[in-house]
Structure formats: C-alpha cells, structure tokens
Chain A
Amino acid sequence: MKIAVASGKGGTGKTTFSVALVLANRDRARIVDCDVEEPNAHLFLGGPEPVVETVRASIPVVDGDLCTACGACVDFCQYNALALAGSGGLLVFPELCHDCGGCIRICPNNALTEGPVSRGTIETKIIGGDLELVTGRLEVGSPSAPTVIRAAIARAPLLERETTILDAPPGTACSFAACMLAADHCLLVTDPTPFGLHDLALAIEAIREMSKPFSVVINRSLGPDDLASVFCRDQGYAVAMRIAESREIAQACSQGKTLLDAIPGIGQDLRDLLDAILETRATEVSG
C-alpha cells in the first residue's frame, strides 16, 4: 500500500505531515521523500549517514554510420533534445532529454542506442533501527525529476512494511504525476487560504484523471468553517484530518521537531488515520 502525501501549493505542510505519519506508524510504515528537487524529510528524521546509489537514465547515442539524417527522431522529440545540423548530422542535447526512449524505438535505421547518463541519487538509511527513509535527489541541472522519483519509489525496501508513505513534490506537473501514479491513496494537504484552495482544486482535478482515491488534510485549520473545510463540505470531499493553526507547531517545526512533539495525542490520531485508509483499501480490493 502506497500513500502519497501531496498538495498542489508548496508549503502547506506535506513533509511535516508525512514525517509525523511515518513516525506514528514506524512499526508498519516506511517513507520515500519524492520531493527530489529539494528533499527535506531527512532534516526532521535524522539518523545515520545514508547509503548512496546513482540513478542512471538512458539517453540516445547516435551511430553516425547508420543515421541517414531522416529527422524522424527530431520530429518525434517533444523536448527538442535532438537536432539535425545540416551536413554535420544528428546532435543530442542530454540536458534537454527526458529519457522517454521514444527516439530509440522509432528510428527506422536503428541508428540510436541507449547510453547511460547520471540523473541523481537515491539515499537510503534506517533510523533508530526500525524506520526506513529513502530520499531521491535530483542532480543539479538535470531536467528529469520523474526518472529519479520513479527510481526512489521502486527501490527495494530494506524493511518489511505494509505501507510506504510517499512525500510528494509540490505542483501538479510531471513530478507530481510520477508520484501519484505509483500511489494507492492520496492525502492532499492544504491550508485554508485562497491560494491553497486554488491549488487543491487543481491537484484533485489531476488525481481524478488518474482515478486515485483521495482525502484531504487541512493544515493550519481555523476551525470547521474555514475556507478549506467549507470547500470540502460543499464538494463532498472526505477530510481525513484537521490540524489546528498553532504557534506551538510553528515553533516546534522551526526547531526541527515534529508534530508528535508539538501536539500531545496526535500519534494515536495518525495511527487511526492509517487504519482507516487500510480498511477502505481492503474493502475496495475485496469488493
């Protein structure tokens, strides 16, 4: 069971929530930090130095003897990563390539083969002997966040846990989609601001395209009648949890502490929340 914690708007509390969720369920959950452009779950979870692996991707390599400069690959590439330079032949720009492999498949002369290039790293560690953290980290200058996200999610688990929590990147573009496509359930964290609400609506629209079940976590809630609560009520969206606006939480986070430190009793709520998602999932699968 994979549960993605996503938002749309940045800064709503995805990592704050993901970290608390995995800490409260550390006997049955692991966490993958999929915000590969700036992963930060490790800042709150600490632990030993990670084991680092390189994420490689396949970019096209041209065989000049086989290439007839027909341009089929150039026309195909949506990212302009290939170019015909007149009599100079075919050029590849690895920094624009999104590793889709399409050009290699469509080349009528088999002139393109896969060559490896580094896109980033996966850092794995076990904290306190029982909590596994996998961190995807995109190489600076690399265009291909989804490649690193998919590799981090696919990393073979070190600990046997029934649930994997995916701390998703913000936005609703390719990185977000790469994460959501792997998820069985999405928890959408929002804040009760017009901006938060606007992006929550975008995230829900994207998730519905993927037919994924979701529920909403309202962070910094101002009560049962705040903007986000009213929105969810009107639209019929399930609210999985509400975390009240509080100075104590802000202070704790700024000191590298977690929600479990700041709110007594939230650990049980987070266990109940995971129970509820797992039960719903079991019903869906058997039904």
Chain B
Amino acid sequence: MKIAFPVAGSDLSAVLDARFGRAQRFLIVDSDNDTFELLENGSNVDASQGAGIQSAQLVIASGAKALVSSHCGPKAFKVFQVAGIPVLQAPVASIAQLLAKFKAGELEAMTGPDNAGHMG
C-alpha cells in the first residue's frame, strides 16, 4: 500500500514537514517493500491560494491510499474525504519511524481539519 508523507528531505531518513500544502515534496512509500518515490510539489510551494487543494490532488493522483501529516486544513481535508483517502495524524519525526508506527497501526485517522485554513 502506498502512503504519502510531506517532506523537505529525499529519503526515509527525511523528517516529516509540518506543512502539508506548501511542503517541498512528497515521499510516496510502498509499505509492502519499503521502496519509495519522490513527488515534487512544484509550483504549489508558492501558490497564491489553494496550495493545499493542489497538493491533495497531487497525492491522490500518485496512487497513495493514505496521507501521513502533522496538519491538514479544511479544503485539502475535504478533497481527501471525498476521494476516500484517510489523513493519518503524526508528530514531526523521521519517515522511517513513522512508517514503523503506521505498520504497527499506531497512527490514527483525523476526523476533521485541525486548523481554520489560510487565505492566500
């Protein structure tokens, strides 16, 4: 199963980026064999608005079936919700550590956005 992590680094030692919509890139990890690919977040880093929405679409299009993130705003959360993809809340830690937590079933799905969203 593919899982997406917002990161600034580029491998499993990278630390989870506390930002979702404006993260540098996403690490898409296959939890079955611990292989990963990198997905650049491109222009969304500097989008004037709707960065979370764009990033959510990028993650969904990658084939990921879950997102692990520290935070998720209302618009991105809605996109994930409609797409049927859970947002698993996690503290800022290395992706390797979080992957272990995921496999152990220790990451819980958020039931709603955890901030009020940002305009601009």
Contacts known (A91-B79, A93-B75, A143-B119); A80 close to B84, Cβ less than 8 A: no
Beta-carbon contact of A81 and B50 below 8 Å: yes
If the complex has contacts A84-B57, A87-B83, A88-B84, are A79 and B50 also in contact, measured as CB distance less than 8 A? yes
- CB neighbours (8 Å) of B83 from chain A are 85-88
Is B78's beta carbon under 8 Å from chain A?
yes
- CB pair A85 B50 closer than 8 Å: no
Any chain B CB within 8 A of the CB of A89? Answer: yes
- Evaluate whether A87 and B84 lie within 8 angstroms (CB atoms) in the complex, with A74-B57, A80-B54, A143-B119 already known: yes
A74-B57, A88-B84, A93-B53 are known contacts. Are A83 and B79 too (CB-CB below 8 A)? Answer: yes
Asked if A96 is at the interface (CB within 8 A of a chain B CB), the reply is yes
Interface set of A (CB-CB < 8 Å, partner B): 74, 79-81, 83-89, 91, 93, 95-96, 143
The A-contacting residues of B in range 56-105, CB under 8 angstroms, are 56-57, 60-61, 75, 78-85
CB-contact partner of A96 in B49, B60, B85, under 8 A: B49
What DSSP secondary structure best describes chain B's contact surface? Answer: helix
B74 to chain A, nearest CB (A): 10
Answer whether residue B109 sits at the interface, using C-beta atoms and an 8 A cutoff: no
Q: Which listed residue, A80, A88, A89, touches B53 by the CB 8 Å rule? A: A80
Q: Is residue B51 within 8 Å, beta carbon to beta carbon, of the partner chain?
A: yes
Task: Select A85's contact among B47, B48, B60, B119, beta carbons within 8 Å.
Answer: B60
Question: Count of A-B contacts with CB under 8 A?
Answer: 53
Q: Which residue of A lies closest to B117 (CB)?
A: A95
Q: A74-B57, A81-B50, A93-B50 are in contact. Are A86 and B84 (CB under 8 A)?
A: yes
The tally of residues in B whose CB lies under 8 Å from a CB in A reads: 21
**Contacting residues of chain B (17-70) with chain A, CB-CB under 8 angstroms:** 47-51, 53-54, 56-57, 60-61
27 contacts between A and B (CB under 8 A): A79-B48, A79-B49, A80-B49, A80-B54, A83-B53, A83-B54, A83-B79, A84-B60, A84-B61, A85-B56, A85-B57, A85-B78, A85-B79, A85-B80, A85-B81, A85-B82, A86-B83, A86-B85, A87-B84, A88-B82, A88-B83, A88-B84, A91-B78, A95-B119, A96-B49, A96-B53, A96-B75
Provide the residues of chain A in CB contact with B54, threshold 8 Å: 80, 83
Q: Give the docked Cα–Cα distance between A95 and B53 (Å).
A: 13
List residues of chain B with CB within 8 A of the CB of A85: 56-57, 60, 78-83
CA of A86 to CA of B86, assembled, Å: 13
Nearest A residue to B76 via CB reads A83
**Chain B: CB-nearest residue to A71:** B57
Query: Which residue on chain A has the smallest CB distance to residue B60?
Result: A86
Q: From A85, A93, A96, A143, name the one whose CB has the most chain B CB atoms within 10 angstroms.
A: A85
Rounded to whole angstroms, the CA-CA distance of A81 and B75 in the bound complex is 10
CA distance A89 to B57 in the complex (A): 11
**Known contacts A84-B57, A143-B119, A89 near B49 by CB under 8 Å:** no
Partner pick for B51 among A74, A80, A81, A91, CB 8 A cutoff: A80
Report chain B residues within 8 Å CB of A143: 49, 119
Residue of B53, B57, B78, B82 with most partner-chain A CB within 10 A: B53
Distance A84 CA – B55 CA, assembled complex (angstroms):
11
How many Å lie between the Cα of A93 and that of B78 in the bound state? Answer: 10
- Complex Cα distance A86/B60, Å? 6
If the complex has contacts A88-B82, A88-B84, A91-B79, are A83 and B56 also in contact, measured as CB distance less than 8 A? yes
- Chain B residues with Cβ under 8 A from A95's Cβ? 119
A73 to chain B, nearest CB (A): 12
